[in-house]
Structure formats: C-alpha cells, structure tokens
C-alpha cells in the first residue's frame, strides 16, 4: 500500500495527554513504515505520558506508550514531518502564525469527524480522560481511513 504521506506529527499543549495518545494510536494503526511523532506548544519537556491518560488508553485499546517523553515543538520538528495534526483550532492558528511555511499541512485531528477541539484532560477526573480518548480514537480511525489504511 502506498500512502500519500510518510510522516505525521501530533501536537497539543503539554505533550503528555492528547498528542502522545494520538501518536501511540496512530502508530498502532498505520503501517510500520509510517513515521509518527508528537510535540507540544508548551511542552512539559521530558515528562512521561500522563498516567491517567495512559491507563485509560491501555484499558480502552490495549495500546501503551511507556517510553514517551514530552518535547517542545520547534521548527526542525515541523520541517521533519509532512502532516501535522493538532488537538485545538487555537493550536493550528498559533503554529501557522509562528511558522507560515507549514500552511496546507496543519489540520485539526478531528478534521474528518466533527472538527471540534479535543478535550484537554490534564489534571481532570478520569471520566474526562475517557471522553478525550474517545475523541482521539474516533479521529485516528477517520485519518487512517482517509489515508487508505484498511
């Protein structure tokens, strides 16, 4: 199978909840030849994936991301990926304002679902993490389908 893209970056704020969950789920869903990464606009650099998000993701999907370490979004990372998926419209706008060269490559992860912002579960109760993961799972499936992955 030949995909139209070969690399995809997911972006949220802290890079410990939404974007690493999306990264892990996309990595599990896409062919191994596809490169997937994540970063944050206000990353909690070096931190592991949020334990509640990780636990809920494992329970819901069986997917884990134990070695994740948060990283700050910087220009070289943006240049290294062909497609950039963000959790919120404000994040898309900030990226386009700071790095206009990525225009046409930045989309809401919910582009093919309801185009809503993904709920930020940071420091929220487990049920908010659950709602977030449902949004991310649905978005990942829609992107996989759009990319032609069966």
Is residue 67's pLDDT more than 90? yes
Number of C-beta neighbours around residue 80 at 10 A: 11
DSSP string, 85-138: EESSHHHHHHHHHH-GGGTTSEEETTTTTT-PPPP--TT--HHHHHHHHHHHHH
What pLDDT is recorded for position 149? 86
Q: Can you state the angle between helices 51-61 and 18-29, rounded to 10 degrees? A: 30
What pLDDT is recorded for position 3? 66
- Mean pLDDT value of segment 21-25: 98
46 φ/ψ sector (left φ>0, alpha ψ -120 to 50, else beta)? left
Active site residue 17: no
DSSP tag of 14: S
Active site residue 18: yes
Choosing from 12, 17, 27, 50, the catalytic residue is 12
Choosing from 55, 60, 69, 120, the catalytic residue is 120
What pLDDT is recorded for position 2? 61
DSSP tag of 9: E
Active site residue 132: no
Q: What span, in angstroms and rounded, lies between the C-alpha atoms of 52 and 58? A: 10
Choosing from 18, 29, 54, 105, the catalytic residue is 18
User: Domain 7-146 - what CATH class?
Assistant: alpha beta
- Mean pLDDT value of segment 82-90: 98
pTM given for the model: 0.95
């Amino acid at each position: 199978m030949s995909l139209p893209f070969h690399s995809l970056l997911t972006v949220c704020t802290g890079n410990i909840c939404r974007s690493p969950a999306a990264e892990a789920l996309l990595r599990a869903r896409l062919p191994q030849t596809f490169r997937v990464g994540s970063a944050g606009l206000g990353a909690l650099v070096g931190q592991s994936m949020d334990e509640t998000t990780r636990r809920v993701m494992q329970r819901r999907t069986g997917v884990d991301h134990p070695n994740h370490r948060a990283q700050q979004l910087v220009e070289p990372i943006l240049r290294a990926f062909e497609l950039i998926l963000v959790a919120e419209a404000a994040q898309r706008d900030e990226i386009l304002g700071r790095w206009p060269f990525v225009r046409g490559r930045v989309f809401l992860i919910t582009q093919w679902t309801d185009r809503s912002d993904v709920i930020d579960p940071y420091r929220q109760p487990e049920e908010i993490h659950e709602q977030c993961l449902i949004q991310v799972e649905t978005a990942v499936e829609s992107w996989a389908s759009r990319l032609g992955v069966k």
